[in-house]
Structure 1
């Protein structure tokens, strides 16, 4: 009876998760992959092959946009790590136990509003007639209002602000498990702060670093609203290409091809990052 009850409980707990994975992730990806292999011959007539992928590879604009998106996503991930690591370390090792919940709450505040509202908040701040430009003019730092939107720096800043929490959370969870005795031993053995950070803190936090980088990279590469709104016409983000194929041109075959390509390419970048750092999913995302 006990074993049967345990199996029933496990089944009831896992069923919603498996349905979510199967119906909302796996099946749509299979459908997108199927559509990407269709070659439209005439109205409602299709052949199947790899022509859509060949067309994508042969078009420099699409390739360059994909590589640019991946590079910008790596930059955003690196900056999110630089910004998020000190915050995570302070919450995990320096802040008092009672104040940690409040600090986490402060980090969660940006998630209370949608990406659209956050992006328009940056527009209000950085546009030519925005708060920052007018303040600089009033202080005499600049002679006339300056347009700070619609460039790569603004897009990167907006994306870092959006994803930095997803870097802080795994880093904090990892650093909380580090025994303070390790740090004390490092200092007692004559290590400087830099040495202790490099030889003790970073190796211990590596699973959290890698898992945070995976999450932030994938979220950044798949972002749409922030690059389009903050980058404007100068934005060249791959998700915008996917949107244009599906919605503007109504070319579902090309849009599906772009979507599969983005998934495969970003997965390859994640795999390469794991190999270079000597980590694995079992020791990062799936770590207890």
Structure 2
């Protein structure tokens, strides 16, 4: 009787999650796969074909944009790790109990508003008539308005600001479980700061590092608003190509194919990163 009750409880608890996975992830992706393998040969007449994927490979601007999106996403991930690691270490190992809550709150502030509002905030700061340009002119460092928008540096900065929390949280959760005696032992055995960092702290924090890098990379590669608004016409992000196929050209078949190509590409990068780091999903994302 108790076994049946536990089984029923498990089913009732797991059912909402299973329905969410089935209805919002599996079924839509299956529909997108079918859509991407259709070729329009006449009005409302479609045939099974790989033409959408072949068109992608034959058009250099498409796969160049995908590769550029991947490289920029890796850059954002690396910068988020370099900036987020010291912050996470301070929160986990140095800050007091009361300070941890306040620091986490500061990290959460960017998530209180939408991506659109955050992007427009950067625009107000960095446009020709914005705060930064006006300050430079007032201080005499610039003789005329300076445009900081619509370049790769601004896009990278905006993306790092958007995703850095997703790097900090897994790092804090991982390093918070590290015994301080391990660090003390490293110093007692003659190690200096860089040596302790390289031989003790980083290996221990590696699951959190890989977990944070995976989340940040996937979020960055799939971002749309920030690259478009901060990069303007100079932006070359693959999500813009997907949007153009769906909305501008009404070519849902190519849009679905492009979406899956982005998914396959980012998944391959994540798989390659796991292989190079010697980690697995079960020891990184699942553990974090």
TM-score above 0.5, yes or no: yes
Gaps of 5+ in 2: none
Partner Cα distance (1:111, 1:152) in 2 = 23
Matched ranges for 1:118-267 at <5 A: 118-267=118-267
Deviations along 1:78-110, one digit per CA (max 9) or x if unpaired, are: 000011101111110000012211211111111
How far apart are residue 62 of structure 1 and its match?
Answer: 0.1
Partner Cα distance (2:209, 2:19) in 1 = 30
Gaps of 5+ in 1: none
Partner Cα distance (2:221, 2:282) in 1 = 23
Partner Cα distance (2:115, 2:28) in 1 = 23
Deviations along 1:267-288, one digit per CA (max 9) or x if unpaired, are: 0000000001111101101116
Which residue number in structure 2 is paired with residue 115 of structure 1? 115
Greater displacement, 80-89 / 100-109: 100-109
| Corresponding residue SS for 1:40 | strand
RMSD: 0.8
Which residue number in structure 2 is paired with residue 13 of structure 1? 13
Partner Cα distance (1:106, 1:280) in 2 = 31
Which residue number in structure 2 is paired with residue 286 of structure 1? 286
Which residue number in structure 2 is paired with residue 81 of structure 1? 81
Partner Cα distance (2:13, 2:164) in 1 = 31
Partner Cα distance (2:12, 2:168) in 1 = 32
TM-score (norm 2): 0.99
| Corresponding residue SS for 2:116 | helix
Partner Cα distance (1:2, 1:38) in 2 = 51
TM-score (norm 1): 0.99
